[in-house]
Amino acid sequence: MQGPILTYALTELPDRWQPSGVLRAGGDVAAATRADGDHFLRLVSEFEAGSVSVAFQFLYRPGAGGGDPQRRLAIYLAAQAHRADLHRNLQERVEFVQKGYDFREAELAEMRKLYRDRMREGDKQARADYERARAHQKALAAEREVALAALSREPELIVPKDVTFLTHALVLPSEDAEDRKLYDMSAELVAVQHAIAYEQALGAVVKDVSTPELARAAGLEDHPGFDLLSWRPDGEERAIEVKVRAQASGKVELSENERIKSCNHQNRYWLYVVYGCATPQPGLWRVQNPFAKQLGAPKGGWMIAKHEIVTAAED
């Protein structure tokens, strides 16, 4: 069982640039600090071996600038904490940025394939679109390298400075319907790319049929009731409907058309739900044949709670 954690606190740290600090230390700040340390270590040595552990670090050098030394210490410690936090989360943030570039790379590859098909059908505009997508692909590697290099240097760029208060600001989500629509479209794009990347990682060939134009290009009706067609290497074909939640919880809705198509396609129909699209680590849950599993309840469309999705999802 872990024992209590005791904190040895100095309410006032002697500052050798402040006369009051020098007086409190008896004229020799360094000697006073060492004496305090010796006293503390002697106290620790009286404990039974293995019964206590100690960790402390003192790196504060307040400088000769004016101002309250305690305030300068607080600013320094805040900067140190922020730097440590950036170091601790660096790998997670690098993976998040890498995943974003992977999604973009997969999107550009799909666009090139689409334009190539249109070129074969005689679409003259497709050639320019194809070359533009290819140029973006070539530039993507350099963009990725620059972004990752900047991310890796972030902790080194944290320098403690004095703080000047400017103003308070309360930020609330926009109530504008168009803003919400754009936000939802952005989250849905992230979810679709996440699902495509998952399928392609398993060797599948994936076609986006999420818009009437893309669906018609794939030989489907305008509203097929799913977003992706995936052909696995073993011959399995999946009709995948992708749903998204910006955060890591909440219900998703199947429209009446999507539910009907789920009934028609049965085991060929999959529901992919991406939770946490606005977080560094979105999670993907995959449910085969949601109609047969009788998920959700009617409310306009069919509302499905997260616990139902988690319970029915494949491993």
**Residue 162 forms part of a structural domain:** no
- Lowest mean pLDDT, pick from 5-9, 122-126, 288-292: 5-9
| Residue 184 pLDDT | 66
**Residue 175 forms part of a structural domain:** no
Q: Are residues 266 and 297 in the same domain?
A: yes
| Residue 76 pLDDT | 61
Q: State phi, psi for 286 to the nearest 5 degrees.
A: -120, 120
Q: Which of the pair, 121 or 155, is modelled with greater confidence?
A: 121
Q: Are residues 112 and 212 in the same domain?
A: no
Residue 270, Cβ density class (10 Å: 0-12 exposed, 13-18 middle, ≥19 buried): buried
Q: How many CB atoms lie within 10 A of CB 102?
A: 17
Q: Are residues 144 and 266 in the same domain?
A: no
Dump the DSSP string for 74-143: HHHHHHHHHHHHHHHTHHHHHHHHHHHHHHHHHHHHHHHHHHHHHHHTT-SHHHHHHHHHHHHHHHHHHH
From the centroid of its chain, how far is CA 64? 41
For the chain, the domain total comes to: 3
Residue 142, Cβ density class (10 Å: 0-12 exposed, 13-18 middle, ≥19 buried): exposed
- pLDDT > 50? residue 13: no
Q: What is the CATH number of the domain that holds 211?
A: 3.40.1350.10
Q: Which of 57-61, 88-92, 166-170 has the highest mean pLDDT?
A: 88-92
- pLDDT > 80? residue 245: yes
Pairing of strands 237-245, 297-299: unpaired
- pLDDT > 80? residue 292: yes
- pLDDT > 90? residue 63: no
Contact 25, 17 (CB under 8 A): no
**Residue 286 forms part of a structural domain:** yes
Q: How many CB atoms lie within 10 A of CB 183?
A: 14
- Residue that is written with structure tokens 């006073």 in the block: 32
**Residue 7 forms part of a structural domain:** no
> How large is the greatest C-alpha to C-alpha distance in the chain, in angstroms?
90
Instruction: Kindly list the distances between the CA atom of residue 74 and the CA atoms of 88, 152, 162, 168, 260, in Å, as whole numbers in the listed order.
Output: 21, 26, 10, 20, 61
CB pairs under 8 A, 24+ apart, for 82-89?
Answer: 82/158, 83/155, 83/158, 86/154, 86/155, 86/158, 87/155
pTM, two decimal places: 0.46
Q: Are residues 108 and 186 in the same domain?
A: no
Distance CA 288, CA 205 (A): 19
**Residue 9 forms part of a structural domain:** no
Residues 58-81 have a mean pLDDT of 57
Q: Are residues 220 and 280 in the same domain?
A: yes
Please provide the distance, in angstroms rounded to a whole number, between the alpha carbons at the two ends of the chain: 36
**Residue 230 forms part of a structural domain:** yes
Query: For residue 11, what pLDDT band results from cuts at 50, 70 and 90?
Result: very low
Q: Are residues 29 and 73 in the same domain?
A: yes
Q: State phi, psi for 292 to the nearest 5 degrees.
A: -65, -30
Contact 257, 234 (CB under 8 A): no
- Residue that is written with structure tokens 């000769």 in the block: 64
Q: Are residues 119 and 216 in the same domain?
A: no
Q: Are residues 143 and 47 in the same domain?
A: no
Q: Are residues 275 and 203 in the same domain?
A: yes
**Residue 229 forms part of a structural domain:** yes
Q: Are residues 303 and 186 in the same domain?
A: yes
Which helix (H) or strand (E) is 89 found in, with range?
A: none
Q: State phi, psi for 313 to the nearest 5 degrees.
A: -70, 150
Coil, helix or strand for 231? strand
- pLDDT > 60? residue 27: no
Range of the structural domain that residue 41 is part of: 19-87
Q: How many CB atoms lie within 10 A of CB 113?
A: 14
Q: State phi, psi for 282 to the nearest 5 degrees.
A: -65, 145
Instruction: Kindly list the distances between the CA atom of residue 229 and the CA atoms of 34, 58, 140, 207, 290, in Å, as whole numbers in the listed order.
Output: 71, 59, 26, 5, 17
- Lowest mean pLDDT, pick from 45-54, 119-128, 284-293: 45-54
Distance CA 148, CA 136 (A): 18
Number of residues written out for the chain: 315
User: Which of 87, 114, 143 is the last residue in one of the domains?
Assistant: 87
Instruction: Kindly list the distances between the CA atom of residue 131 and the CA atoms of 108, 115, 137, 280, in Å, as whole numbers in the listed order.
Output: 11, 9, 10, 32
Q: Are residues 37 and 150 in the same domain?
A: no
Average pLDDT over all residues of the chain: 77
Instruction: Kindly list the distances between the CA atom of residue 169 and the CA atoms of 40, 165, 172, 174, in Å, as whole numbers in the listed order.
Output: 45, 12, 10, 15
Q: Are residues 217 and 151 in the same domain?
A: no
